[in-house]
Amino acid sequence: MATAEPQACRSGSVHDTRPRIAVERVSRSFQSSTGEVVALADVDLTIPDGQFCCLVGPSGCGKTTLLRILAGLARPSSGRAVVRHDDPRRLAHSVVFQDYSVFPWKTVRQNVELPIRARGVSKREAAAAGREWLRRVGLVGFEDSWPAQLSGGMRQRVAIARAFACDPEMLLMDEPLAALDAQMRLLLQEQLLALSQEEAKTVVFVTHSIEEAILLGDRIVVMGARPGRVIADIEIPFPRPRSPAQVRKEELFGELHEYIWSLVRGQVEDQLRLDKATS
Ligand SMILES: Nc1ncnc2c1ncn2[C@@H]1O[C@H](COP(=O)(O)OP(=O)(O)OP(=O)(O)O)[C@@H](O)[C@H]1O
Ligand SMILES: [Mg+2]
């Protein structure tokens, strides 16, 4: 049974700009050895420009499938997903996955400069911009290292710097901090929060951490499994710029956490019951 939604979240969306993303009745099925898997069923989701939208939900509820559709890497079986692309000189999106989206055969510097050069920027300007991005994610002194010589957290910082350095119109992130240890994750949450506030980009961010979603997001979309669908859409009312330390102190932080966990927990329990029944 879900606990009551905190009052402060019921005011509706504060964002009224043209949508960056419009997902309309999107369904996606896969054929597996045991029959058809409905990964997404009739998902509707509108994401305005500049919004940091987090997707949470139990394993297998279709979060990655939805992100892949937004990235143009997969197609809906039915319905449509429209992603606005305003400036053909810029990338519509860049994607960061859990497993370090970096080129292992390029140095840290090259990994970050490459997407900047790809925008037609001169070598000199790209070098300066690359240096600045590496400074912003705390990698000064590691410019000439190879990804294999870095810790997991450092590699992921390269991936994040790369994604921002592309200057895409939108960022799609699939559990980008999931593989990190707890301390590194806290640190990168802070960096990601700071970067996203400075850049004001549209971000779709998948995470299993409800705390992370509340700290970073303007909005949390909770997905339910079997079939994957939207079961709740919650506005996060903490004003920006915000810091994780500030947000954690708010009474509403605990209330939101409890409420969202009660929703996700119900889905996880349903899924366990279904798994048991079909095993
Ligand atoms: N290429 C595929 N072929 C067959 N089934 C697939 C394929 N991709 C995804 N699925 C199935 O679709 C469902 C949703 O998968 P998806 O990876 O989108 O879930 P998820 O929410 O990202 O899960 P997790 O939190 O574990 O990453 C799962 O049941 C999965 O097995
Ligand atoms: Mg996934």
* Burial tier of 268 (Cβ tally within 10 Å: 0-12, 13-18, 19+): middle
What's the half-sphere exposure (Cβ side, CA atoms, 13 Å) at 145? 15
pLDDT for res 16: 42
Determine what percent of the chain is predicted with pLDDT higher than 70. 93
Instruction: Please work out whether the CB of residue 58 comes within 6 Å of at least one atom of ligand 1.
Output: no
- Which pair of structure tokens corresponds to residue 170? 């939108």
d(CA 266, CA 255): 17
Residue nearest to atom 5 of ligand 1 (CA): 30
Residue 11 has pLDDT above 60, yes or no: no
Q: What is the pLDDT of residues 33-51, one digit of tens each?
A: 888 999 999 999 999 999 9
Residue partners of 217: CB distance under 8 A and separation at least 6: 52, 53, 54, 205, 236
Looking from the CA of residue 67, the nearest atom of ligand 1 is 18
Residue partners of 182: CB distance under 8 A and separation at least 6: none
> Do the Cβ atoms of 53 and 204 come closer than 8 Å?
yes
Among 63, 177, 230, name the best residue to mutate to test ligand 1's pocket (greatest count of ligand atoms within 8 A of Cβ): 63
- CATH of 15-93+168-264 among 3.40.640.10, 3.40.50.300, 3.20.20.450, 2.30.110.10: 3.40.50.300
- In this prediction the pTM is 0.90
- Locate CATH 3.40.50.300 in the chain: 15-93+168-264
Among 64, 75, 209, 212, name the best residue to mutate to test ligand 1's pocket (greatest count of ligand atoms within 8 A of Cβ): 64
10 Å Cβ neighbour count for 240? 11
Instruction: Grade residue 276 by pLDDT with cuts at 50, 70 and 90.
Output: confident
Instruction: Please work out whether the CB of residue 207 comes within 6 Å of at least one atom of ligand 1.
Output: no
d(CA 191, ligand 2 centre) in Å: 23
Q: What is the pLDDT of residues 138-169, one digit of tens each?
A: 899 999 999 999 998 899 899 999 998 888 99
Instruction: Please work out whether the CB of residue 30 comes within 6 Å of at least one atom of ligand 1.
Output: yes
pLDDT for res 75: 96
pLDDT for res 17: 60
Tokens 């409420």 map to which residue? Answer: 259
Instruction: Please work out whether the CB of residue 229 comes within 6 Å of at least one atom of ligand 1.
Output: no
Residue nearest to atom 25 of ligand 1 (CA): 59
- Which pair of structure tokens corresponds to residue 52? 């940091």
